[in-house]
Chains A and B, each alone.
Chain A
Amino acid sequence: MMRSAKKELINKTARALFAAGGVSVLIVIILILIFLFKETIPVFSGAEITGKNSISVSSKIIGASISERGNLISYVFQGGLSLVDRNGANINRFDLPEKILSAEFKKNTLLVADADKIYLYDYRYVSDGSASLDSNAELISLFQCPMPKGMKTAVVSSKDDTSVDIIYYGDKRIQLIKYSLGGNIEQVKIDTEILSVIKSAEVYFDGSLIAVSEDGRIYVIDESGNVSDVLKEDGISAFGMLTGKRGFVVADLSGNISVFSSSNREGSSSFHKIHKIESSGKKVTSIFLSDKDRTFAVIYEDGSMRLYYSTTEKLLLEINDINGNMLISGNGKNLLSYGSKLHLYDIKNNHPDISFKALFGKIWYEGYSEPAYVWQSTGGADDFEPKYSLMPLIFGTVKGSLFALLFAVPLALCGALFMNQFMHPDLQRLIKPAVEIMAGLPSVIIGFLGGLWLAPVLEQYLPGILLGLVITPVAVIFAGHLVEKFFTRSGGEIYGKEIFIILPVIVLVFGTSIMFSNEISTVVFNGDFKDFFFTKTGTPYDQRNAIVVGFAMGFAVIPVIFSLAEDALSFVPREIIAGSLALGLSRWQTVSGVVLKAAKSGIVSAVMIGFGRAVGETMIVLMATGNTPLMSLSPFNGFRTLSANIAVELPETAVGSSPYRILFLSALILFIFTFAINILTGFIRGNMRKESK
């Protein structure tokens, strides 16, 4: 009585403990899922306005600027420049010439022009040491010079510590002149006549000038002054160069917005229309671009404004009652509209560079000759166009796992079947733990050996190894047949220990085929397999390739599949087997007709779980592949998986930035992937159980 009560108590406690364990695992998984969601969701939110300040100005504004951190505003009026804070309070005032016609701020410069002269200033915001705010500005006069004859507009193109480049254009002529900071002309870089009236011009990244005309022509003038390319649009109403100077935005007369960039095909560079945003039916009056990223503001004739991002073609924000121009602050967090009044908007625009299309679609990036799936998340400079396509990574994950399974499934399943059904119990007791030890091998070491030892070996002996993979199974079957013929029937002493005859056969056959690898190369592949493959397919043979990873990762997956499949086979009741044998079926008939059928669901789930293991494997792929984000089916080049990508890139991405959130998104995708595999496994298993009943 007492004992059974005690037992009851133990049972109850154990049950409660197990339940608690199960539930807490579930809770942890759900929490991880929630965390991953929380980190990724901000990626898909658009831009929004979080605040607005209006500042009234008594005089007519000729030009304006907003400081890098968005808290100070400068505006030029007739005879002066005012610096105010975001509430309109005066901070500083500088004198400028009277009767000015235009004032343009650009990258620490202010260029003012009157009817016949230009005045160049160094104008910059300064901070008193606090990292988040600018406190003042300073204006230093650099030089003034007469506007060259026939020219109407002057624009600063670039300025460094010793010189400044200024673009001049008039009706049919354009010049690019380099001045010293003292105002001496150092070099007339370009001076060219053009057939149309120039509307706007900017310098491209390679030093050539891009000039657009009202009638819709885009002239590309190279460094030696020759017009190297002319593109034709249906009239041009606005133009602007994107940050990085690798692409520019053009609006045509019907309101369509296009982004152009050049690429180097064989021998020459040519321009392509890489993005097109369909017209909203309104005419565009001007385009203003951000210095920080590829965000640009489009102003329409009805006074409305739309904020777009070039790479994703995403409409970020729309404001209806802008009357005038729109500036984007250096940190991208503020917009300033100026016309008769100043309006300062605070905006939240953290991830303009991410959209569904950016992650999963083909995008035509600046400098590329066609749309492509590209993963290249960082660059050396701030003006880099990030490329966030997850497709090559998802492709790589699936490719790697499939190659691992290709190698692991036949070996693991046949191994498990042979061991469980045919092997002598003494040997069984030896093999099973050995395979389990295999599972304990750290994957860093497998990856290391795969990349630095296996890859070169495979490169050298590939034809032999491939041949070995084909003929060894044949030889094994043949050897098995011989064993059957000469030993089993005669006395049965060999029963369960056939492996001692088959193993030397495997070693011999595989070894021989590797030994003759070079000969096979010479005879079959005209000397070198790699050359043969390259000339036949056009894809180079890469030393770190999918086959290497297949072997290395297969090595890690084999124990998983082997153990699970072996367990499934062990659960087949011995009585069924005994019954089948007693009814006169041979051993093989019993195995294929009875055992395998009974263990089917277990074997399928073993493979699926092996697949799940391969999908999540990180260190092996990280070390044994080149992490090349390719999308090629060729077994002889590498790939990059989601998990390796996270391991490679996460350590140095800034918390909260776009790449950071995308890495979390790829973690979420991995999670969902394995989750789906597990659910599918359960489902298949359930179905098979029902069937077998």
Chain B
Amino acid sequence: MLLIFASKKKNKEQIMKKVLLLALSGLVLSTGLFSQNVSVDGAIPSYSKKSGISGSLNSIGSDSLINLMAFWSEGFKKSYPGVKFQIEGKGSSTAPPALIEGSAQFGPMSRKMKSSEIEAFVKKYGYKPTEIVVAIDTLAVFVSKDNPLKSLSLPQIDAIFSKTRNSKYAKEITLWNQIGLSGAYSNKPISLYGRNSASGTYGYFKEHALYKGDFKNTVKEQPGSASVVQGVEKDKFAIGYSGFGYKTSGVKAIAIAPTEGAAAVEATYANALSGKYPLSRHLYIYVNKAPGKAVDPAVKEFIAYILSKEGQEIVVKDGYFPLTANMAKQQLDKLK
């Protein structure tokens, strides 16, 4: 009805156009947020297609990896339309039983398998499950790019974000001058941004930076990592955490010291790779491979795809750090 109306009257058409423009500019802005600044190691080879790959592949495990798995499976299916995927993400602890039962070929996990889980696997098969590192997840604490803050210790971060302060940091931190800023920042309240509780990032930050404590009610929970960064960018007095891969030019990631008084470590790709940076973890896919025997070709090709240039580009696109060429090769060799 509105359309007919608009075509009849010229000025109404203009209004429509303006509204559409406004809407479009909003959309353009929002898609522009997902720009990245980490690139995949040039030495990782491109994926080369094999022939005769088909079958159905099941994956059961981590919910934080479910997006990655979905992207990988989509990319993989472009080369092999005959392959069917079923991906379930109910948490990392659902992966070991699924692998043991044989109901899934892939067990994506955002943590290492516990010794008890490995033992249960060994009990059934007589050998250990094969652990493949597929990506590096690094959380960064962001402030606006003009903020003079350089580093924080983990207990300070706890005192900023948490109301329970399990790190035993002496005082709650609410103002910027409590962490040594002066000038325009003195006596200004800290504005907090973070992820929503359903995300793995939220859980990881809560466990490692908050020492399992509770977030303050004043942490603004954003439905995506990009909107956390966007919020920090627009809010001069903000501090926020999200995946490092979502960093934009408007924010800067601060260095983090693992304990009070220790040297602060920059959130760089190199420090994440070496494990020095305290808020970084590997993401894994576990597979069942008998020693001396080859795995199912579809399983092998899928892992090869993940560890290829294309697969690691997806890692970057989803906001994680990619593997180095060396690491990727090491992981790939585990299936030989």
Contact = CB atoms under 8 A, between A and B. Distances in A.
Interface of A: 108, 124, 126-131, 161, 205-206, 244, 246, 263-264, 266-267, 269, 365, 367-368, 374, 376-381, 383-384, 387, 392, 429-430, 433-434, 436-438, 440-442, 445, 448-449, 451-452, 455-456, 459, 530-531, 534, 540-544, 622-623, 625-630, 637-638, 640, 647-649, 651-654
A622 B222 CA distance: 8
Given A367-B166, A452-B230, A654-B90, 19 more contacts: A124-B116, A129-B100, A264-B165, A380-B206, A381-B207, A383-B212, A392-B217, A433-B5, A445-B23, A448-B26, A452-B234, A531-B187, A543-B238, A625-B220, A626-B193, A627-B222, A628-B219, A638-B220, A653-B198
B115 A628 contact: no
Contact of B2 (A264, A392, A437, A654): A437
B48 interface: no
Given A244-B212, A626-B193, A629-B217, A442 B172 contact: no
A380 B214 contact: no
Contacts of A449: 22, 26
Nearest to B26: A445
A648 B164 contact: no
17 contacts: A129-B124, A131-B100, A131-B101, A269-B168, A379-B214, A380-B212, A381-B203, A381-B212, A383-B212, A430-B11, A459-B235, A531-B187, A543-B191, A623-B223, A626-B220, A640-B221, A654-B90
B5 A126 contact: no
B223 A622 contact: yes
A455 B197 contact: no
A124 B119 CA distance: 10
A627 B221 contact: yes
Interface of B: 2, 5-6, 9, 11-12, 15-16, 19, 22-23, 26-27, 29-30, 63, 90, 97-98, 100-102, 115-116, 119-120, 123-124, 163-166, 168-172, 174, 187-189, 191, 193, 196-199, 202-208, 212-215, 217-223, 227, 230-231, 234-235, 238
Contacts of A442: 23
Nearest to A124: B116
B198 A540 contact: no
Nearest to A383: B212
Contact of A649 (B23, B198, B217, B219): B198
B23 A531 contact: no
B164 A380 contact: no
Contacts of A126: 119-120, 123
Contact of B63 (A108, A128, A647, A652): A652
A459 B191 CA distance: 13
Contacts of A622: 223
A648 B221 contact: yes
A502 B102 CA distance: 75
A380 B101 contact: no
Nearest to B210: A380
A78 to B, nearest CB: 29
A368 B193 contact: no
Contacts of B231: 451-452, 543-544, 626
A434 B2 contact: no
A166 to B, nearest CB: 20
Given A129-B100, A456-B234, A628-B219, A374 B212 contact: no
B151 to A, nearest CB: 23
* Most-contacted residue by chain A among B16, B172, B197 (CB, 10 A): B197
Given A264-B164, A626-B193, A542 B218 contact: yes
A380 to B, nearest CB: 3
Contacts of A379: 203, 206-207, 212, 214
B124 A128 contact: yes
A215 to B, nearest CB: 30
Nearest to A429: B9
B206 A434 contact: no
A622 B301 CA distance: 41
B123 A128 contact: yes
Nearest to A459: B235
Contacts of A377: 197
A377 B100 CA distance: 31
B189 A540 contact: yes
* Most-contacted residue by chain A among B166, B205, B207 (CB, 10 A): B166
A648 B235 contact: no
Contacts of B218: 540, 542, 626, 628, 630, 637
A124 B116 CA distance: 8
Contacts of A130: 101
Given A264-B164, A437-B15, A387 B219 contact: no
Contacts of A381: 203, 207, 212
A31 to B, nearest CB: 28
Contacts of B15: 434, 437
A384 B188 CA distance: 32
A277 B256 CA distance: 44
B101 to A, nearest CB: 5
Nearest to A365: B214
A185 B129 CA distance: 33
Contacts of A628: 217-221
B212 A626 contact: no
A124 B114 CA distance: 13
Contacts of A440: 2, 19
B230 A648 contact: no
Contacts of A430: 9, 11-12
A367 B223 contact: no
A380 B197 contact: no
A542 B168 contact: no
A267 B171 contact: yes
B214 A455 contact: no
B12 A433 contact: yes
A649 B100 contact: no
A346 B14 CA distance: 70
Nearest to B165: A264
Contacts of B101: 129-131
Nearest to B198: A652
B168 A378 contact: no
